[in-house]
Amino acid sequence: MTASFSELSLAPSLAKAVAQMGYETMTPIQAQAIPVVLQGRDVMGAAQTGTGKTAAFSLPLLQRLLRHENASVSPARHPVRALVLLPTRELASQVEDQIRQYAAFTKLRSTVVFGGMDIKPQIAALRQGVEVLVATPGRLLDHIEAKTAVLNQVEYVVLDEADRMLDIGFLPDLQRILSHLPKQRTTLLFSATFSNDIKRLANSYLQDPVTIEVARSNATAATVQQRFYSASGEDKRLAMLALIKQHDVKQAFVFVNSKLGCARLARNLERDGLRTAAMHGDKSQDERLKALAAFKAGEVDLLVCTDVAARGLDIKDVPVVFNIDLPFNAEDYVHRIGRTGRAGASGLAISLVSSSDARLLGDIEKLIKIKAEVEPVEFERAPTRGRRDERSGRDADEGRERRESRIDKHDEDRLAKRAESRDPKARYQPLSRQTKSDPLFDQPYQPSLPPDAKPAWEAAPAVKPRGISANIKPRRKVAALFKSTS
Protein backbone atom coordinates (compact mmCIF):
# COMPACT_ATOMS: atom_id res chain seq x y z
CA MET A 1 0.00 0.00 0.00
CA THR A 2 1.36 3.41 -0.99
CA ALA A 3 1.89 5.80 1.91
CA SER A 4 0.79 9.42 1.74
CA PHE A 5 2.63 12.48 3.03
CA SER A 6 -0.52 13.37 4.92
CA GLU A 7 0.09 10.32 7.14
CA LEU A 8 3.34 11.85 8.43
CA SER A 9 3.16 14.01 11.51
CA LEU A 10 4.91 16.91 9.81
CA ALA A 11 4.72 20.41 11.20
CA PRO A 12 2.11 22.62 9.49
CA SER A 13 4.80 24.78 7.91
CA LEU A 14 6.49 21.74 6.31
CA ALA A 15 3.18 20.12 5.35
CA LYS A 16 2.16 23.33 3.59
CA ALA A 17 5.41 23.41 1.60
CA VAL A 18 5.06 19.74 0.64
CA ALA A 19 1.51 20.30 -0.56
CA GLN A 20 2.56 23.38 -2.51
CA MET A 21 5.27 21.35 -4.29
CA GLY A 22 2.67 18.80 -5.34
CA TYR A 23 3.87 15.89 -3.23
CA GLU A 24 1.09 13.42 -2.46
CA THR A 25 2.39 9.86 -2.13
CA MET A 26 5.78 8.82 -0.80
CA THR A 27 8.27 6.71 -2.70
CA PRO A 28 9.48 3.50 -0.98
CA ILE A 29 12.74 5.09 0.22
CA GLN A 30 10.80 8.05 1.65
CA ALA A 31 8.24 5.85 3.35
CA GLN A 32 10.94 3.78 5.06
CA ALA A 33 13.60 6.41 5.79
CA ILE A 34 11.58 9.38 7.05
CA PRO A 35 10.14 7.66 10.16
CA VAL A 36 13.59 6.27 11.08
CA VAL A 37 15.31 9.67 10.72
CA LEU A 38 12.55 11.28 12.78
CA GLN A 39 13.54 8.91 15.58
CA GLY A 40 17.13 10.21 15.44
CA ARG A 41 18.66 6.94 14.19
CA ASP A 42 21.64 6.67 11.82
CA VAL A 43 20.58 5.47 8.38
CA MET A 44 22.33 3.91 5.42
CA GLY A 45 19.83 4.04 2.57
CA ALA A 46 20.17 2.54 -0.89
CA ALA A 47 17.62 3.24 -3.58
CA GLN A 48 17.48 3.68 -7.30
CA THR A 49 18.32 7.11 -8.61
CA GLY A 50 15.31 9.37 -9.14
CA THR A 51 13.29 7.95 -6.24
CA GLY A 52 13.29 11.03 -4.00
CA LYS A 53 16.23 10.50 -1.64
CA THR A 54 16.59 14.27 -1.10
CA ALA A 55 13.15 14.54 0.49
CA ALA A 56 13.84 11.34 2.43
CA PHE A 57 16.53 13.06 4.51
CA SER A 58 15.58 16.76 4.16
CA LEU A 59 12.05 16.67 5.54
CA PRO A 60 12.83 14.76 8.77
CA LEU A 61 15.94 16.91 9.38
CA LEU A 62 13.94 20.11 9.03
CA GLN A 63 11.25 18.65 11.30
CA ARG A 64 13.81 17.98 14.05
CA LEU A 65 15.47 21.37 13.57
CA LEU A 66 12.23 23.30 14.04
CA ARG A 67 12.92 23.46 17.77
CA HIS A 68 15.85 25.75 16.95
CA GLU A 69 14.01 28.15 14.64
CA ASN A 70 13.90 31.77 15.71
CA ALA A 71 13.41 35.20 14.17
CA SER A 72 16.57 36.71 15.66
CA VAL A 73 18.85 38.65 13.34
CA SER A 74 21.90 37.70 15.38
CA PRO A 75 24.15 35.19 13.54
CA ALA A 76 24.95 33.57 16.90
CA ARG A 77 21.31 32.39 17.11
CA HIS A 78 21.66 30.60 13.75
CA PRO A 79 24.64 28.20 13.99
CA VAL A 80 25.09 25.34 11.53
CA ARG A 81 22.96 22.46 12.83
CA ALA A 82 22.86 20.21 9.74
CA LEU A 83 25.61 19.58 7.19
CA VAL A 84 24.87 18.02 3.79
CA LEU A 85 27.89 16.95 1.73
CA LEU A 86 27.68 16.15 -1.97
CA PRO A 87 30.24 15.27 -4.65
CA THR A 88 29.37 17.78 -7.40
CA ARG A 89 28.55 21.47 -7.56
CA GLU A 90 25.40 21.04 -9.62
CA LEU A 91 23.99 18.46 -7.23
CA ALA A 92 24.82 20.66 -4.23
CA SER A 93 23.00 23.60 -5.81
CA GLN A 94 19.99 21.42 -6.64
CA VAL A 95 19.72 19.91 -3.13
CA GLU A 96 19.99 23.31 -1.44
CA ASP A 97 17.27 24.65 -3.72
CA GLN A 98 14.94 21.81 -2.67
CA ILE A 99 15.73 22.31 1.02
CA ARG A 100 14.99 26.01 0.64
CA GLN A 101 11.57 25.16 -0.83
CA TYR A 102 10.80 22.70 1.98
CA ALA A 103 11.70 25.35 4.57
CA ALA A 104 9.93 28.21 2.78
CA PHE A 105 7.33 28.65 5.58
CA THR A 106 9.78 28.23 8.45
CA LYS A 107 12.39 30.52 9.98
CA LEU A 108 15.22 28.08 9.24
CA ARG A 109 18.01 29.32 7.01
CA SER A 110 20.08 27.42 4.46
CA THR A 111 22.90 28.14 2.03
CA VAL A 112 25.21 26.30 -0.33
CA VAL A 113 28.99 26.59 -0.80
CA PHE A 114 30.99 25.03 -3.63
CA GLY A 115 34.08 25.74 -5.67
CA GLY A 116 34.35 27.48 -9.02
CA MET A 117 32.54 30.57 -7.76
CA ASP A 118 33.53 33.72 -5.89
CA ILE A 119 33.97 32.88 -2.22
CA LYS A 120 33.03 36.35 -0.91
CA PRO A 121 29.21 36.00 -1.27
CA GLN A 122 29.46 32.60 0.42
CA ILE A 123 31.37 34.12 3.34
CA ALA A 124 28.74 36.84 3.67
CA ALA A 125 25.93 34.24 3.76
CA LEU A 126 27.72 32.15 6.39
CA ARG A 127 28.36 35.16 8.59
CA GLN A 128 24.64 35.92 8.66
CA GLY A 129 24.04 32.48 10.16
CA VAL A 130 22.47 29.33 8.67
CA GLU A 131 21.01 26.18 10.19
CA VAL A 132 21.47 23.98 7.11
CA LEU A 133 24.74 24.08 5.17
CA VAL A 134 25.00 22.24 1.83
CA ALA A 135 28.53 21.94 0.54
CA THR A 136 31.09 20.15 -1.57
CA PRO A 137 34.12 18.91 0.42
CA GLY A 138 36.83 21.06 -1.16
CA ARG A 139 35.15 24.44 -0.72
CA LEU A 140 33.95 23.53 2.78
CA LEU A 141 37.56 22.88 3.82
CA ASP A 142 38.44 26.35 2.50
CA HIS A 143 35.78 27.86 4.76
CA ILE A 144 36.90 25.77 7.72
CA GLU A 145 40.50 26.95 7.32
CA ALA A 146 39.30 30.55 6.96
CA LYS A 147 37.15 30.07 10.09
CA THR A 148 34.06 31.25 8.22
CA ALA A 149 32.31 27.88 8.76
CA VAL A 150 32.05 26.77 12.40
CA LEU A 151 30.78 23.20 12.74
CA ASN A 152 31.00 22.59 16.49
CA GLN A 153 27.19 22.59 16.89
CA VAL A 154 26.34 20.25 14.01
CA GLU A 155 23.74 17.66 14.99
CA TYR A 156 23.12 15.97 11.63
CA VAL A 157 25.48 14.98 8.81
CA VAL A 158 24.23 13.75 5.45
CA LEU A 159 26.46 12.15 2.83
CA ASP A 160 24.43 12.15 -0.36
CA GLU A 161 25.72 9.95 -3.21
CA ALA A 162 27.77 8.29 -0.50
CA ASP A 163 29.52 5.79 -2.76
CA ARG A 164 31.14 8.65 -4.64
CA MET A 165 31.82 10.61 -1.47
CA LEU A 166 33.73 7.70 0.04
CA ASP A 167 35.35 6.72 -3.23
CA ILE A 168 38.69 7.82 -4.65
CA GLY A 169 39.65 11.39 -3.92
CA PHE A 170 36.96 12.23 -1.38
CA LEU A 171 37.87 10.07 1.59
CA PRO A 172 40.79 12.23 2.88
CA ASP A 173 38.65 15.38 2.67
CA LEU A 174 35.80 13.64 4.46
CA GLN A 175 38.05 12.52 7.27
CA ARG A 176 39.30 16.09 7.76
CA ILE A 177 35.77 17.50 7.77
CA LEU A 178 34.39 14.88 10.16
CA SER A 179 37.23 15.60 12.58
CA HIS A 180 35.76 19.10 13.09
CA LEU A 181 32.30 17.77 13.99
CA PRO A 182 30.96 16.69 17.39
CA LYS A 183 31.17 12.95 18.02
CA GLN A 184 27.55 12.87 19.16
CA ARG A 185 25.67 13.35 15.94
CA THR A 186 23.25 11.62 13.58
CA THR A 187 24.83 10.46 10.30
CA LEU A 188 22.84 9.59 7.20
CA LEU A 189 24.22 7.99 4.04
CA PHE A 190 22.14 7.86 0.88
CA SER A 191 23.11 6.60 -2.54
CA ALA A 192 21.92 4.61 -5.50
CA THR A 193 24.83 2.17 -5.35
CA PHE A 194 26.73 0.51 -2.49
CA SER A 195 29.62 -1.90 -2.90
CA ASN A 196 30.80 -4.11 -0.04
CA ASP A 197 33.94 -1.99 0.41
CA ILE A 198 31.87 1.18 0.58
CA LYS A 199 29.57 -0.39 3.16
CA ARG A 200 32.54 -1.24 5.36
CA LEU A 201 33.86 2.31 5.12
CA ALA A 202 30.41 3.74 5.84
CA ASN A 203 29.97 1.59 8.93
CA SER A 204 33.01 3.26 10.48
CA TYR A 205 31.15 6.58 10.47
CA LEU A 206 27.75 5.35 11.64
CA GLN A 207 26.61 4.15 15.04
CA ASP A 208 24.20 1.22 14.97
CA PRO A 209 22.79 2.24 11.58
CA VAL A 210 19.49 1.16 10.12
CA THR A 211 20.09 -0.20 6.62
CA ILE A 212 17.31 0.54 4.15
CA GLU A 213 17.39 -1.04 0.72
CA VAL A 214 14.16 -0.59 -1.14
CA ALA A 215 15.47 -2.30 -4.28
CA ARG A 216 18.20 -4.64 -5.36
CA SER A 217 21.59 -2.96 -5.07
CA ASN A 218 22.82 -1.33 -8.30
CA ALA A 219 19.48 -1.98 -10.00
CA THR A 220 18.23 0.32 -12.72
CA ALA A 221 14.75 1.81 -12.70
CA ALA A 222 12.12 -0.45 -14.22
CA THR A 223 10.63 2.52 -16.07
CA VAL A 224 13.80 2.96 -18.19
CA GLN A 225 14.00 0.94 -21.40
CA GLN A 226 17.61 0.08 -22.26
CA ARG A 227 18.74 -0.34 -25.88
CA PHE A 228 22.20 -1.08 -27.24
CA TYR A 229 23.27 -0.33 -30.83
CA SER A 230 26.45 -1.18 -32.71
CA ALA A 231 28.50 1.82 -33.89
CA SER A 232 32.10 2.98 -33.66
CA GLY A 233 34.24 6.09 -34.08
CA GLU A 234 32.70 8.94 -36.05
CA ASP A 235 29.78 6.64 -36.91
CA LYS A 236 28.50 7.02 -33.34
CA ARG A 237 27.50 10.62 -33.96
CA LEU A 238 25.81 9.72 -37.26
CA ALA A 239 24.05 6.78 -35.62
CA MET A 240 22.82 9.02 -32.81
CA LEU A 241 21.43 11.52 -35.33
CA ALA A 242 19.56 8.69 -37.05
CA LEU A 243 18.17 7.44 -33.73
CA ILE A 244 17.10 10.97 -32.75
CA LYS A 245 15.11 11.17 -35.97
CA GLN A 246 13.79 7.63 -35.58
CA HIS A 247 12.51 8.12 -32.02
CA ASP A 248 11.53 11.77 -32.57
CA VAL A 249 13.69 12.89 -29.64
CA LYS A 250 13.02 16.44 -28.47
CA GLN A 251 15.53 16.60 -25.62
CA ALA A 252 18.25 14.28 -24.30
CA PHE A 253 21.37 13.89 -22.22
CA VAL A 254 24.42 12.79 -24.22
CA PHE A 255 27.23 11.27 -22.13
CA VAL A 256 30.88 10.93 -23.16
CA ASN A 257 33.97 9.96 -21.17
CA SER A 258 36.39 12.82 -21.87
CA LYS A 259 36.23 16.59 -21.64
CA LEU A 260 37.86 17.01 -25.06
CA GLY A 261 35.43 14.57 -26.65
CA CYS A 262 32.55 16.41 -25.00
CA ALA A 263 33.60 19.76 -26.49
CA ARG A 264 34.20 18.28 -29.96
CA LEU A 265 30.89 16.42 -30.06
CA ALA A 266 28.98 19.52 -28.96
CA ARG A 267 30.58 21.57 -31.76
CA ASN A 268 29.79 18.92 -34.37
CA LEU A 269 26.17 18.62 -33.24
CA GLU A 270 25.84 22.40 -33.45
CA ARG A 271 27.02 22.17 -37.07
CA ASP A 272 24.36 19.51 -37.62
CA GLY A 273 21.73 22.09 -36.68
CA LEU A 274 20.90 20.94 -33.13
CA ARG A 275 20.76 23.30 -30.17
CA THR A 276 23.55 21.93 -28.03
CA ALA A 277 25.37 22.84 -24.83
CA ALA A 278 28.50 21.25 -23.37
CA MET A 279 29.03 20.56 -19.69
CA HIS A 280 32.33 19.21 -18.36
CA GLY A 281 34.99 19.81 -15.73
CA ASP A 282 36.94 22.42 -17.71
CA LYS A 283 33.90 24.68 -17.92
CA SER A 284 33.63 27.39 -15.29
CA GLN A 285 30.90 26.97 -12.72
CA ASP A 286 28.98 29.88 -14.20
CA GLU A 287 29.08 28.28 -17.67
CA ARG A 288 27.93 24.93 -16.26
CA LEU A 289 25.03 26.50 -14.38
CA LYS A 290 23.96 28.46 -17.46
CA ALA A 291 24.06 25.34 -19.63
CA LEU A 292 21.99 23.45 -17.07
CA ALA A 293 19.48 26.30 -16.75
CA ALA A 294 19.12 26.51 -20.54
CA PHE A 295 18.52 22.76 -20.73
CA LYS A 296 15.88 22.93 -17.98
CA ALA A 297 14.16 25.82 -19.76
CA GLY A 298 14.01 23.89 -23.03
CA GLU A 299 16.35 26.28 -24.82
CA VAL A 300 18.81 23.44 -25.49
CA ASP A 301 17.97 20.16 -27.23
CA LEU A 302 21.06 18.13 -26.30
CA LEU A 303 23.17 18.50 -23.18
CA VAL A 304 26.52 16.87 -24.01
CA CYS A 305 28.28 16.14 -20.74
CA THR A 306 30.77 14.03 -18.87
CA ASP A 307 29.99 12.22 -15.62
CA VAL A 308 29.82 15.55 -13.74
CA ALA A 309 26.13 15.48 -14.75
CA ALA A 310 25.59 11.77 -14.09
CA ARG A 311 24.76 12.05 -10.40
CA GLY A 312 21.59 13.30 -8.81
CA LEU A 313 20.54 15.98 -11.30
CA ASP A 314 16.76 16.08 -11.23
CA ILE A 315 15.39 17.41 -14.50
CA LYS A 316 11.86 16.26 -15.15
CA ASP A 317 10.54 14.96 -18.45
CA VAL A 318 13.88 14.19 -20.10
CA PRO A 319 12.84 11.29 -22.35
CA VAL A 320 16.18 9.93 -23.58
CA VAL A 321 19.76 9.42 -22.42
CA PHE A 322 22.48 8.63 -24.98
CA ASN A 323 25.74 6.94 -24.01
CA ILE A 324 28.13 7.81 -26.82
CA ASP A 325 30.89 6.24 -24.71
CA LEU A 326 30.24 3.47 -22.23
CA PRO A 327 31.48 4.58 -18.78
CA PHE A 328 34.74 3.18 -17.42
CA ASN A 329 33.00 2.53 -14.10
CA ALA A 330 29.95 0.31 -14.53
CA GLU A 331 28.17 1.95 -11.56
CA ASP A 332 28.22 5.26 -13.44
CA TYR A 333 26.00 3.62 -16.07
CA VAL A 334 23.28 3.25 -13.42
CA HIS A 335 23.53 6.93 -12.57
CA ARG A 336 23.68 8.07 -16.20
CA ILE A 337 20.50 6.34 -17.30
CA GLY A 338 18.86 7.52 -14.08
CA ARG A 339 18.64 11.01 -15.61
CA THR A 340 15.55 9.75 -17.44
CA GLY A 341 12.52 7.85 -16.16
CA ARG A 342 12.38 9.92 -12.97
CA ALA A 343 9.47 9.98 -10.53
CA GLY A 344 7.76 7.04 -12.21
CA ALA A 345 7.91 8.45 -15.74
CA SER A 346 9.03 6.26 -18.64
CA GLY A 347 12.41 6.80 -20.27
CA LEU A 348 14.76 5.42 -22.90
CA ALA A 349 18.50 4.80 -22.49
CA ILE A 350 20.46 4.25 -25.71
CA SER A 351 24.08 3.09 -25.64
CA LEU A 352 26.32 2.97 -28.71
CA VAL A 353 28.74 0.06 -28.50
CA SER A 354 31.89 -0.50 -30.54
CA SER A 355 34.04 -3.62 -30.77
CA SER A 356 36.50 -2.13 -28.27
CA ASP A 357 33.73 -1.71 -25.66
CA ALA A 358 33.30 -5.44 -25.04
CA ARG A 359 34.90 -5.37 -21.58
CA LEU A 360 32.97 -2.27 -20.46
CA LEU A 361 29.71 -3.79 -21.69
CA GLY A 362 30.51 -6.99 -19.83
CA ASP A 363 31.03 -5.05 -16.60
CA ILE A 364 27.65 -3.37 -17.03
CA GLU A 365 25.92 -6.69 -17.70
CA LYS A 366 27.51 -8.19 -14.60
CA LEU A 367 26.53 -5.23 -12.40
CA ILE A 368 22.89 -4.86 -13.39
CA LYS A 369 22.43 -8.56 -14.17
CA ILE A 370 21.03 -8.27 -17.67
CA LYS A 371 22.08 -9.61 -21.05
CA ALA A 372 22.57 -6.76 -23.50
CA GLU A 373 21.45 -7.41 -27.08
CA VAL A 374 23.45 -5.20 -29.42
CA GLU A 375 21.32 -4.22 -32.42
CA PRO A 376 22.44 -2.81 -35.76
CA VAL A 377 21.42 0.71 -36.68
CA GLU A 378 21.04 2.11 -40.19
CA PHE A 379 22.28 5.60 -40.90
CA GLU A 380 23.57 7.62 -43.82
CA ARG A 381 27.34 7.79 -43.83
CA ALA A 382 28.92 11.17 -44.43
CA PRO A 383 31.20 11.45 -47.50
CA THR A 384 34.84 10.93 -46.65
CA ARG A 385 37.93 12.54 -48.14
CA GLY A 386 38.72 9.51 -50.31
CA ARG A 387 35.22 9.38 -51.85
CA ARG A 388 34.62 11.45 -55.02
CA ASP A 389 31.94 11.69 -57.61
CA GLU A 390 32.79 11.55 -61.32
CA ARG A 391 33.39 15.27 -61.75
CA SER A 392 35.38 15.83 -58.55
CA GLY A 393 37.42 12.71 -59.33
CA ARG A 394 38.28 13.97 -62.79
CA ASP A 395 39.29 17.36 -61.41
CA ALA A 396 41.44 15.74 -58.77
CA ASP A 397 43.19 13.53 -61.34
CA GLU A 398 43.91 16.52 -63.56
CA GLY A 399 45.32 18.44 -60.63
CA ARG A 400 47.55 15.53 -59.65
CA GLU A 401 48.88 15.32 -63.23
CA ARG A 402 49.68 19.02 -63.24
CA ARG A 403 51.51 18.74 -59.94
CA GLU A 404 53.52 15.73 -61.07
CA SER A 405 54.46 17.28 -64.43
CA ARG A 406 55.39 20.66 -63.02
CA ILE A 407 59.16 21.22 -63.50
CA ASP A 408 60.95 24.39 -62.76
CA LYS A 409 62.12 26.25 -65.90
CA HIS A 410 65.62 26.49 -64.50
CA ASP A 411 65.76 22.70 -64.14
CA GLU A 412 64.58 22.28 -67.75
CA ASP A 413 67.52 24.37 -69.00
CA ARG A 414 69.97 22.44 -66.91
CA LEU A 415 68.57 19.11 -68.11
CA ALA A 416 68.92 20.26 -71.69
CA LYS A 417 72.56 21.26 -71.15
CA ARG A 418 73.27 17.92 -69.50
CA ALA A 419 71.83 16.06 -72.49
CA GLU A 420 74.09 18.04 -74.86
CA SER A 421 77.17 17.42 -72.75
CA ARG A 422 79.76 15.07 -74.22
CA ASP A 423 80.95 14.03 -70.78
CA PRO A 424 79.18 10.73 -70.04
CA LYS A 425 79.62 11.27 -66.30
CA ALA A 426 77.65 14.49 -66.44
CA ARG A 427 74.52 12.58 -67.45
CA TYR A 428 74.40 10.84 -64.09
CA GLN A 429 75.69 13.67 -61.92
CA PRO A 430 73.03 15.11 -59.59
CA LEU A 431 71.54 18.45 -60.54
CA SER A 432 72.72 20.03 -57.29
CA ARG A 433 76.35 19.43 -58.34
CA GLN A 434 76.01 20.92 -61.83
CA THR A 435 77.71 24.22 -60.92
CA LYS A 436 80.09 26.41 -62.92
CA SER A 437 83.78 26.19 -62.05
CA ASP A 438 85.29 29.21 -60.21
CA PRO A 439 89.03 29.65 -61.07
CA LEU A 440 89.74 31.68 -57.95
CA PHE A 441 88.03 29.08 -55.77
CA ASP A 442 90.13 26.27 -57.26
CA GLN A 443 93.47 28.03 -56.52
CA PRO A 444 95.45 26.95 -53.42
CA TYR A 445 95.40 29.23 -50.38
CA GLN A 446 97.97 32.02 -50.40
CA PRO A 447 98.35 34.46 -47.49
CA SER A 448 98.00 38.09 -48.54
CA LEU A 449 100.68 39.28 -46.01
CA PRO A 450 104.15 37.99 -45.20
CA PRO A 451 104.38 35.68 -42.19
CA ASP A 452 106.19 38.24 -40.00
CA ALA A 453 103.71 41.07 -40.71
CA LYS A 454 101.71 42.42 -37.77
CA PRO A 455 97.92 42.48 -37.81
CA ALA A 456 96.34 45.67 -39.04
CA TRP A 457 94.92 46.61 -35.63
CA GLU A 458 98.40 46.35 -34.01
CA ALA A 459 100.29 48.05 -36.83
CA ALA A 460 98.04 51.13 -36.80
CA PRO A 461 99.10 53.87 -34.37
CA ALA A 462 96.99 54.01 -31.27
CA VAL A 463 94.85 57.13 -31.17
CA LYS A 464 93.85 58.18 -27.70
CA PRO A 465 90.45 59.76 -27.50
CA ARG A 466 90.24 63.25 -26.13
CA GLY A 467 89.62 63.74 -22.46
CA ILE A 468 91.52 60.59 -21.37
CA SER A 469 94.69 60.87 -19.29
CA ALA A 470 97.94 60.07 -21.04
CA ASN A 471 98.89 57.84 -18.11
CA ILE A 472 96.13 55.39 -18.97
CA LYS A 473 97.42 52.74 -21.30
CA PRO A 474 95.02 51.51 -23.96
CA ARG A 475 93.94 47.90 -23.73
CA ARG A 476 95.86 45.53 -25.94
CA LYS A 477 93.67 44.20 -28.71
CA VAL A 478 93.66 40.45 -29.10
CA ALA A 479 92.33 38.52 -32.04
CA ALA A 480 89.52 36.11 -31.22
CA LEU A 481 87.80 33.37 -33.18
CA PHE A 482 84.02 33.34 -32.81
CA LYS A 483 81.77 30.44 -33.69
CA SER A 484 79.62 31.09 -36.71
CA THR A 485 75.85 30.82 -36.24
CA SER A 486 75.11 30.46 -39.94
Residues 108 and 229 in one domain: no
- Dist. CA 470–CA 253, nearest whole Å: 89
Q: Which of 122, 63, 131, 62 is nearest to 93 (CA)?
A: 122
Give a yes or no: residue 56 inside a domain. Answer: yes
Q: Which one-letter amino acid corresponds to residue 46? A: A
Residues 149 and 24 in one domain: yes
Residues 187 and 294 in one domain: no
> Higher confidence at residue 352 or residue 343?
352
- Dist. CA 45–CA 53, nearest whole Å: 9
Express each pLDDT in 42-94 by its tens digit.
988 877 666 788 899 999 999 999 999 999 999 999 999 999 998 888 888 88
- Dist. CA 67–CA 341, nearest whole Å: 37
Express each pLDDT in 364-408 by its tens digit.
988 888 888 888 888 777 655 444 444 444 454 555 545 544 444
- Average pLDDT value for residue range 291-303: 88
User: Could you write out the DSSP letters of every residue in 74-99?
Assistant: -GGGS---EEEE-SSHHHHHHHHHHH
How many structural domains does the chain have?
2
Question: Edge-to-edge strands of the sheet including 43-46?
Answer: 110-113, 132-135, 82-85, 156-160, 186-191, 43-46, 210-213
- Average pLDDT value for residue range 330-344: 79
Residues 179 and 248 in one domain: no
Q: Which of 33, 72, 68, 71 is nearest to 53 (CA)?
A: 33
Express each pLDDT in 262-276 by its tens digit.
999 999 999 988 999
Q: Residue 289 — very low, low, confident or very high, per pLDDT cuts 50/70/90?
A: confident
Instruction: Report whether pLDDT(234) > 90.
Output: no
Helix/strand number for the chain, H first, E second: 18, 14
Residues 62 and 188 in one domain: yes
Q: Residue 456 — very low, low, confident or very high, per pLDDT cuts 50/70/90?
A: low
Give a yes or no: residue 441 inside a domain. Answer: no
Q: Which one-letter amino acid corresponds to residue 464? A: K
Residues 264 and 329 in one domain: yes
> pTM for this one?
0.62
- Structural domain boundaries, residue 10: 5-213
21-25, 127-131, 362-366, 390-394: segment of lowest average pLDDT:
390-394
Express each pLDDT in 136-146 by its tens digit.
999 999 999 99
- Answer yes or no: are the C-beta atoms of 325 and 254 closer than 8 Å: no
Handedness of CA 285, 288, 294, 296 (dihedral sign): negative
- Count of Cβ atoms closer than 10 Å to residue 79 Cβ: 17
Q: Which of 3, 59, 32 is nearest to 211 (CA)?
A: 32
CATH number at residue 230: 3.40.50.300
How high does pLDDT run on average in the chain? 80
Question: Edge-to-edge strands of the sheet including 276-279?
Answer: 276-279, 302-305, 252-255, 320-323, 347-353, 224-230, 374-375
Query: What's residue 180's pLDDT?
Result: 92
